Amino acid sequence: MQQICLDCGMRVSETTRNCPKCDNPLNLQHDGSTITVDIAHQGERVSEALQKMQSEIDLASKGVAKSIRLVVGSGLIRDEVVLVLRDLKFRGDVIDFEAEPFNAGAILVRLK
């Protein structure tokens, strides 16, 4: 699988960390977009929602989106997602996260 450096346009392997042409870090490049994923309103249990969240974060991290918006509702799933996101932030897997302004049922996670 290949990816394209957003700075110079060179095609490189998806395992390459820095572009060999312009030396820019590929894992920090983004197009400013946000992906929205609902992980709590299809009858998911907490464990299923957390698995879905991790899968979507992993997939989005490989792409060019800057953020992922997780629709989590306002109950137990939201509370558990926040705990896992704190751990992901501590480990450096996500840059930051916050509850969406005016919508406590969605969390915006900054990936790049």
Q: Render pLDDT for 31-72 as a digit per residue (tens, 0 to 9).
A: 888 999 999 999 999 999 999 999 999 988 888 889 999 999
pLDDT at 1 (0 to 100):
66
Answer whether 112's CB lies under 8 Å from 66's CB: yes
What tokens were used for 53?
Answer: 């969240």
CA distance to 3, 20, 54, 86, per residue, from 42 (Å): 32, 43, 17, 24
In CATH terms, the fold of domain 31-110 is Ribosomal Protein S8; Chain: A, domain 1 (3.30.1370)
pLDDT at 7 (0 to 100):
80
Q: Render pLDDT for 66-109 as a digit per residue (tens, 0 to 9).
A: 999 999 998 999 999 999 999 999 999 999 999 998 998 999 99
Q: Where are the domains of the chain?
A: 1-29, 31-110
Instruction: Tell me the C-alpha distance between 4 and 18, whole Å.
Output: 11
pLDDT at 64 (0 to 100):
82
- CB contact set of 7 (below 8 Å; sequence gap of 6+): 19, 22, 24, 29
